[in-house]
Structure 1
C-alpha cells in the first residue's frame, strides 16, 4: 500500500523532507502523498519515515492503494533508476 495523510494533518512541514522519493507535497489544505511515488520507504528505510516524524499520527496505509512489499520494492527500483 502507499500511505495516506488524513485531514488531521496540521501542516507542520516535517514529513515532506523525510520522504526519500519526493512523494509528499503540499496539497490544497493539507500535505498529500502521491501513491505512484510512495514505496513506504521500502528500499530506503525499514519503516516509513513520514510516520516516524509525524507529531499527530495522521499518516496511515491507504486501503485504496493496496501493494505488497515486493510491489513496493519494484516501484522503488523503477523510481531510483
Structure 2
C-alpha cells in the first residue's frame, strides 16, 4: 500500500529502542546514586541487563495492548453492566 517506508520504520524502531534503553539505564543510575539500595555489582548488572532487554518486546506488546484498549474505548460506549447482588453466602 505504500503507507510506511520500511527504512523509516526500522529507523523509528531503532531510535525508540535506544531512547527507551537510555531512559531505563539513566533511571537506574540515578536511583543507585541517590539511594544505594543494590547490594552488589552483580545485582546491579542484572538489573541493568533487564533494563536493556525490556525494550525488545515488552514495550511493544504493552503498546499493542494500549492501542487495542484505546480503539475499543473509542469504538464502543463505556457503559457499566448491572451486577446482581449475591450476598455473603453465595
Q: TM-score range by the shorter chain?
A: under 0.3
Scaled by the length of structure 1, the TM-score of the pair is 0.24
Larger Rg: 2
More strand by share: 1
More helix by share: 2
Greater relative contact order: 1 or 2 (C-alpha under 8 angstroms, separation 6 or more)? Answer: 1
